[in-house]
Amino acid sequence: MCGIVTICSNRPGLNAGPIVQMTEDLAHRGPDADGVVQMSKCHLGHRRLQVIDPVGGQQPMWDDSRRFCVTFNGEIYNFRELRRELQTRGVDFHTHSDTEVLLLGYREYGSAVVEKLNGQFAFAIWDEKQSSLFAARDRLGEKPLFWAQGPAGELIIGSEIKAILKSELVRPMLDPASVDAYLALIYVPPDRTIYQNIHALPPGHALEWQSGAVHQWSYWQPRLSTNPIDQCEAVGEVRRLTTQAVERQMVADTPVGAFLSGGLDSATIVGLMAGQATAPIKTFSVGFGDLINELPYAEAVAQQYRTEHHAMQMDIPVGETLLQMARVYDEPFGDSSNIPTYLISQFAGEHVKVVLSGDGGDELFGGYDWYSPLQRQESMPSSSVLSTEWYRLLSCLPLGPWRRHASTRFKDIRAKNCFPDLWDRHLAALSVISADHRASLWGGSKRESAEDLLSKSYRPNDSIYGIDRATDFDLRCYLPGDIFVKVDRAAMAHGLETRSPFMDVDLVEFVLSLPARLRFAGPPLKSILRRACADLWPEPVRARNKQGFGAPIQSWLQRPDVRTLRDRVFHPQSPLLELLPGAAVIARQCEKKPQVTWNLLCLGLWLESHPCDVGKQEQVA
C-alpha cells in the first residue's frame, strides 16, 4: 500500500518544496521507496510499500508517450485479466505491476477504466497534453483520497489530510456541521471531512480537474435485492466467489498473512487461504485480557489449518495510545476499537507487509445485532395506542415469562411509531448523542442537524425498502466512514497493507443482488455465509456468538492516565469547552452512557493537537 500526493496549477513554475514535504509526511504509508515527478503545472509524489513487482512498479509512473503520469495507492486484484484484455488491443507492457495496467488502461479507456477495476484504490493521473488531472476512489471506500483548492485555484490531493496541510496552501477551517455529525456517529461521514475547505472524494466517485475547475461524479452505487434466485444456487455461488476473492487477494511478491480473531469472517478467510497456499500461512491474534480474549477461538482455527500462528497478550497503555490516536487519525474518531486495531497492526507489521482480514463481512451478510430489531419491527402490524399501553404495563410486571417479551414488544412499537421510515429508525438507533443533547453541547443555538445533513447524502430513494434501507446506509456511510478509516490509518501507521476479500467487487455485487429475505434469513445471523462456509470452521467457532472488537470504555474512563486527560479536556478554558460550551454538563448528565464521554474526550484531544479556525455555522430557523 502507498501514500500519494499531487499539486496541480494553472500557472507554470510550481514551487518544488511542498510536494517533497507532502511526500515525506506520508513515509509511514510507504516506507520502502519514494518518488517525485515535477512538471510545469503538476507535481506528483509517491511513498511506496513494495508488494507487487518491487523493481518495475516504481512510481510516479509515466506511459511510453510521456503524456500520462500516475500516482497510485492500492491493489488492482484483476490486473492480470485486464492486462490480457489490453494486450489483445495491441497494448505493450514493460513491467509486471498493476500500476502499469491501471495507467495504460486509463490511456485506452479514459475515465471508464474505473468500472473495470476490481480492487481497493485511490489514484491520480495527470494528462500533460490536456493539462488536466483525473482521480478516483474504489467503490466501497477502502482507500482514502482527500482534496482541496489553494488560493490560486491549485488542486491539492493527498492520501491523508496531514499531507494536504503540509503543502501550506490551505489554512484549515473547522466545519461545525461535520463536528455535529461526528458527535452523532462517532466518525465523520465519508463524503465530508472535519474541515470546511478540505474535501473527501466519496467512495465510488471520480474527479476531474482542469483550468482550476473541479468536476466530481459517482460511477457506482450498490444495487440491492435485484436477483430472484433460489437459496441453493445462491449458497453455491457465494462459496465460489469468496474462494475466488481470496485467491485474487493472495497475489503478492511478498508473504501474505491474515488477522485471525476466531470469528466467522476471519476463520472463513484463513480456511480458504490454507486451501490455496503452498506454505503455512502466518496468522496474527492479540488478546487484551478482560477486554478481548479471542485467542482460544483463533488457536482452534490455527491448529485446524496448521498456520504459523503468532499470538500474544497485551496490556494497553490507554492514555498514551489515546494521544497517539489523535495524531494518527487526522480527524476526531470515537470508535474505541481503533486502539486494539492499531496494536494488532503493529504486531503483525513486525512479520509481514500484507494481511487479509474479514472486514466487510457483517455489512455484506447482515451480521450486526442491530438488524434483528429492525426486522422484527418491519414485520409488525400498525399498533393502536391501547395495545402500546398494554405492552408498556406488562413490561412493568415482576419478573416472569411475559416481562421480557412485553418489554421488547413495547420498545419495538415505540420505535416504529416514532420513526415510521426504517432509515430514520436505524439512524436514531446508531446515534450516540441525541439531537437534543447535541443542541445543548453547542449552547442551544439552532442549526442544521446531523440528521438533516445525513439525510441529504444517505437517505435512499423509495426503490430501496425494508431492511435494505439500513444495509444501504451501513455500506455507504458506516463501512467507509468508520471501519475502513479505522483499519487504513491503524495499519498504514505501521506500513502494513490490509486486504478485505469480502469486498471483492464480484462477490459484493452478487450478494447485494440477493433478495433481502435470503440475506437476512435466520436466526442465526449471516445464514447465507453459514450455509456456504460453515465447513471451514472448527466447532468452537461455529457455535460461538458474535463478539465485537470493542473496548470497556467505562473502566478505561476511570483509569488514572485517562482521568488526567479527561480533567484537561473538560477544563473550562479547554479547546473542547470553547467549541462546545455545554460539553461538561452533558458529560455529567450522560455518566451512564460512557460512549458519550468517550466521544467528547476524543474530540477534545483532537482539538488540542489540531488547532484551526472555526468556520461559519449554518443557522436554521
* Residue 495 within a domain: no
Residue 420, Cβ neighbours under 10 Å: how many? Answer: 10
C-alpha 69/C-alpha 53 separation (Å) is 18
User: Global pTM?
Assistant: 0.94
Residues 159 and 99 in one domain: yes
- Rounded to 10 degrees, the C-alpha dihedral 507/508/509/514 comes to 90
Instruction: Provide the CATH number for the domain around residue 343.
Output: 3.40.50.620
Return the sign of the alpha-carbon dihedral for residues 148, 207, 488, 496. negative
Using 70 as the pLDDT threshold, list the residues of the chain that sit under it: 1, 290-293, 382-406, 446, 545-550, 616-621
And the C-alpha cell for 70?
500516475
Q: Please report where in the chains the cell 509481514 appears, as a residue.
A: 352
And the C-alpha cell for 430?
446508531
And the C-alpha cell for 474?
451501513
Q: Could you tell me the residue range of the domain that residue 72 belongs to?
A: 2-218
How high is the pLDDT of residue 386?
46
Length of the chain: 621
Residue 154, Cβ neighbours under 10 Å: how many? Answer: 23
Residues 248 and 311 in one domain: yes
| 2 included as an active-site residue | yes
Residues 201 and 262 in one domain: no
Predicted confidence (pLDDT) per residue in 82-92, tens digit: 999 999 999 99
- Whole-Å CA distances, 234 to 25, 468, 516: 46, 18, 12
C-alpha 124/C-alpha 133 separation (Å) is 7
Residues 389 and 325 in one domain: no
Residues 337 and 381 in one domain: no
Residues 345 and 396 in one domain: no
Task: Tell me which residue of 478, 483, 485 sits closest to 144, measured CA to CA.
Answer: 485
Residues 85 and 160 in one domain: yes
* Residue 526 within a domain: no
Instruction: Provide the CATH number for the domain around residue 128.
Output: 3.60.20.10
C-alpha 407/C-alpha 392 separation (Å) is 7
How high is the pLDDT of residue 552?
83
* Residue 520 within a domain: no
And the C-alpha cell for 365?
451478510
Report the number of distinct structural domains present in the chain.
4
* Residue 493 within a domain: no
Helical packing angle, 295-305 and 264-274, nearest 10°: 20
Helical packing angle, 594-609 and 176-185, nearest 10°: 140
Residues 38 and 155 in one domain: yes
How high is the pLDDT of residue 135?
98
Residues 289 and 337 in one domain: yes
Residue 235, Cβ neighbours under 10 Å: how many? Answer: 18
And the C-alpha cell for 621?
430557523
* Residue 298 within a domain: yes
Contacts 24+ apart (CB under 8 A), 583-592: 583/441, 585/440, 586/433, 586/437, 586/440, 586/441, 589/437, 590/433, 590/437
How high is the pLDDT of residue 55?
84
Residues 308 and 384 in one domain: no
Distance between first and last Cα of the chain: 47
Beta strand 2-8 with 354-356 is unpaired
Catalytic option among 2, 42, 477, 602? 2
Residues 116 and 57 in one domain: yes
Predicted confidence (pLDDT) per residue in 38-82, tens digit: 999 999 999 999 988 888 889 999 999 999 999 999 999 999 999
How high is the pLDDT of residue 392?
59
How high is the pLDDT of residue 312?
85
How high is the pLDDT of residue 171?
95
How high is the pLDDT of residue 418?
85
* Residue 281 within a domain: yes
And the C-alpha cell for 108?
485506452
Return the sign of the alpha-carbon dihedral for residues 524, 527, 531, 533. negative
* Residue 478 within a domain: no
How high is the pLDDT of residue 389?
57
Residues 148 and 199 in one domain: yes
How high is the pLDDT of residue 262?
87
* Residue 68 within a domain: yes
